[in-house]
Structure 1
Amino acid sequence: MELAVLALVVLALAFTGLQVGLYYHARKVAQSAARQGVEAGRQFGAGEGDGVAQAQDFLHRFGGSVRGASVSSAGSTAQEIRITVRGSVATLVPGLTLDVVQHADGPVERWSAP
């Protein structure tokens, strides 16, 4: 009896550890995609669409842990680009939903006279 209770506790701890790992991995992937998008979109002559496309490309290659990911450039201005990545995390518990939202921003490169 005591062994059965102990086994349940050990399994619960193991699955909790795995779920935490999945969450943080998805969070880092979303953050990396947002950063890639900002780097692409802030270059001289590039636009918000270039940043969004780069972030989406990154997610297609490496973002299997971010499910239903969407990328937007809402909040960008002429001086600053902002890329936001939203998605959900793969979960081990049916019915549990964990959302991930990460953003990155940076100044847009502009030509200025020396």
Structure 2
Amino acid sequence: MTRRRCERGSATLETVVLWPAVFLLIFGIVHAGLWFHARNVALSAAREGTRAASMDDGSGGAARAAEFLTATTDGTVMRVGDIHETTDAGTVTVTVTGSSTTLIPGWRVDVSQSATAPIRRWTAP
């Protein structure tokens, strides 16, 4: 009987230690999913911008990426910081930067994705 008295409260102590770790794991998984989704949205916008710019002699990619973000998200997935377009001799690159939605107030997780495509030029034979 003395053995049972020594173990009194052990289940409560195990619960107090275990549940915060479980909640931290669950919130970590959800937060990672939100970040990954924001990354995919930024990459899709950058690809859409480069596709449009490659067909239009290397211009208009940033505007098309902004249109894509407006049409596909309502600002809850990610907050867009900047959409930057650069063109060199034969390629165009569109970079979308911003921050992912977080579950922890005040914590900022940056997202930056870019895509590059060749500029298509039409020539007469």
Q: Please give the TM-score of this superposition, normalised by the length of structure 2.
A: 0.81
Aligned pairs for 1:33-72 within 5 A: 33-43=45-55, 45-48=56-59, 50-63=60-73, 64=75, 65-72=77-84
Where 2:62 maps in the other structure, the secondary structure is: helix
2:121 to 93, 110, 114: 110
Question: How far 1:78 moved relative to its partner?
Answer: 3.8
Unaligned runs of 5+ in 2: 1-12
Alpha-carbon RMSD across the aligned residues, in angstroms, is 1.5
Quote the sequence identity (%): 41
How far does residue 57 in structure 1 lie from its aligned partner after superposition?
0.6
Q: How far 1:95 sits from its partner (Å)?
A: 2.8
Pair member with larger Rg = 2
Consecutive unaligned residues of structure 1, counting only runs of 5 or more, are: none
Matches within 5 A, 1:1-114: 1-43=13-55, 45-48=56-59, 50-63=60-73, 64=75, 65-74=77-86, 76-114=87-125
State how far apart, in whole Å, the 2-side matches of 1:105 and 1:24 are.
21
Aligned length: 111
